[in-house]
């Protein structure tokens, strides 16, 4: 377990090497573990550290999804998030599953039981000094099966990946907030639901595996602010656990790869007061590799010059050769990283630039993980994966068995064309 501590460890070292490799797993507090125990000073000095914050967050990083059954009254999940701009909302969406409850495949799975429990979601302020929950902004309490059935009805009877709580509020851009999820049922052991979250390798999760308080910390994933994370409590929120301990049980890459402990990451969104849904972090994943795939990043918000390419693989295969192409100008460049597990990154021989409004692709000749936008997610966040959406990545030619809005784990860096600190 990793109870709360205010970490002052910078994540800069985690992003200062040209190759990110998870070898032997990560520490429970999320501090990076180097391949050989410590970085070689010459290797660190040879590579410039990119600017941190959301602008330097890579847009990928998850391999699977896992649950935390809320089957005890003292259990709490905290999803800490940072809106990119000031918004007024009436709903907050989060990962939710209760298969095994009476309303979905009764008694045949362990994600839920009985009547689905009593979902309580509290939108809270976060103390910027401690990173811990402070004043409650809004709360809703609703039966788990009731909310599941409401979500199905809104998603054309599809099984929901995310559900919601009605928590009207105005949220300030760049400010930390939290959603605390608990089960208020009188008999939670036999009437419960699960909080669901995508998984990243703890050794690669950087600031999301600890109580990071700096908006400019390096090493962020999924285009998240480095302060965003999931935490877990078993004492009614008295203390919080991070990294590999941030759920009801331990999770691992590839389900059972104990050499690579996993950390749950945020998946969430909002319904704005005007009725528009907005994805905060809409993706999840489930053990799927994409072979010979291409991802398009459309309509850049900021001009960028890309000098490096990367791909993420958590299986025993390799990412192969990576290629970036500006689809507006035709400029392209390729490189081949050293192969193996983890974030495999290489420097292109010729930098490729994109201007505001231009698009580009990144492709791989090998295998990479793929982030998913299933049917209910596509209905919930219809602009994700479009040229003007909050997230603009898509597959120009979808791989077999995938949807165009599923995103292969490929990126160009060092800075995102969509976020600027």
Confidence of residue 34 (pLDDT cuts 50, 70, 90): very low
pLDDT at 197 over 90: yes
Q: Hey, is 133 helix, strand or coil?
A: strand
| CA distance to 87, 148, 173, 418, per residue, from 273 (Å) | 9, 22, 16, 24
The whole-chain average pLDDT of the chain stands at 90
Which whole number is the average pLDDT over 148-160? 96
pTM: 0.88
Tens-place pLDDT, residues 383-392: 999 999 999 9
pLDDT at 163 over 70: yes
The pLDDT value recorded for residue 305 is: 99
Cis peptide before 12 (omega within 30 of 0): no
What is the per-residue pLDDT across 240-281, written as a single tens digit (0 to 9) for each? 999 999 999 999 999 889 999 999 999 999 999 999 999 999
Q: For residue 1, is pLDDT > 60? A: no
Q: Is the pLDDT of residue 53 over 60?
A: yes
On the question of pLDDT at 342 being above 80, the answer is: yes
CB 32 within 8 A of CB 243: no
Of 14-18, 53-57, 298-302, the poorest mean pLDDT is in 14-18
- Residue 316 confidence (pLDDT): 84
Q: How far is CA 254 from CA 62, 64, 341, in A?
A: 11, 8, 12
Return the CATH number of the domain spanning residue range 288-413: 2.60.120
Give the per-residue pLDDT at 11.
33
Q: Which of 40-44, 187-191, 307-311, 372-376 is predicted with the least confidence, judged by mean pLDDT?
A: 40-44
**Sequence spans of domains, the chain:** 64-281, 288-413
Question: Which residue is it, tokens 């959603």?
Answer: 179
Q: Are strands 194-201 and 64-69 parallel, antiparallel or unpaired?
A: antiparallel
pLDDT computed for residue 416 by the predictor: 98
Position 214 confidence tier, pLDDT thresholds 50, 70, 90 = very high
Give me the numbers of helices (H) and strands (E) for the chain, helices first please.
3, 25
């Amino acid at each position: 377990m990793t109870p709360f501590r205010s970490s002052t460890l910078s994540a800069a070292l985690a992003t200062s090497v040209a190759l990110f490799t998870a070898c032997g797993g990560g520490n429970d507090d999320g501090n990076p573990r180097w391949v050989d125990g410590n970085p070689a000073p010459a290797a660190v000095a040879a590579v410039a550290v990119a600017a941190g914050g959301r602008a330097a967050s890579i847009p990928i990083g998850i391999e699977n999804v896992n649950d935390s059954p809320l089957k005890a009254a003292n259990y709490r999940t905290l999803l800490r998030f940072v809106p990119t701009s000031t918004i007024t909302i009436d709903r907050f969406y989060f990962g939710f599953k209760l298969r095994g409850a009476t309303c979905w495949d009764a008694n045949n799975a362990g994600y839920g039981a009985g009547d689905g429990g009593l979902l309580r979601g509290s939108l809270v302020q976060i103390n910027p000094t401690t990173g811990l929950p402070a004043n409650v902004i809004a709360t809703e309490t609703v039966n788990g099966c009731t909310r599941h059935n409401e979500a199905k009805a809104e998603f054309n009877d599809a099984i929901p990946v995310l559900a919601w709580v009605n928590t009207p509020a105005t949220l300030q851009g760049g400010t930390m907030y939290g959603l605390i999820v608990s089960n208020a049922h009188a008999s939670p052991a036999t009437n419960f639901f699960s909080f669901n979250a995508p998984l990243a390798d703890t050794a690669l999760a950087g600031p999301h595996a600890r109580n990071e308080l700096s908006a400019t910390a390096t090493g962020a994933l999924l285009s998240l602010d480095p302060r965003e994370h999931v935490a877990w409590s078993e004492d009614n929120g008295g203390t919080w656990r991070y990294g590999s301990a941030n759920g009801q049980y331990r999770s691992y890459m590839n389900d059972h790869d104990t050499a690579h402990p996993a950390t749950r990451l945020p998946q969430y969104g909002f319904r704005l007061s005007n009725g528009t849904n907005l994805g905060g972090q809409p993706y999840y994943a489930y053990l799927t590799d994409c072979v010979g795939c291409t991802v398009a990043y459309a309509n850049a918000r900021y001009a960028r010059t890309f000098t490096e390419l990367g791909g993420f693989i958590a299986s025993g295969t390799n990412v192969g050769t990576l290629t970036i192409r500006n689809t507006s100008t035709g400029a392209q460049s390729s490189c081949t990283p050293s192969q193996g597990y983890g974030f495999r990154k290489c420097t292109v021989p010729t930098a490729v630039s994109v201007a505001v409004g231009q698009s580009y692709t990144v492709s791989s000749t090998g295998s990479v993980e793929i982030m998913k936008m299933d049917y209910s997610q596509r209905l919930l966040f219809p602009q994700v994966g479009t040229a003007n959406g909050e997230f603009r990545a898509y597959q120009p030619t979808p791989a077999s068995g995938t949807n165009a809005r599923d995103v292969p784990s490929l990126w160009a860096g060092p800075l995102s064309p969509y976020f600027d600190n």
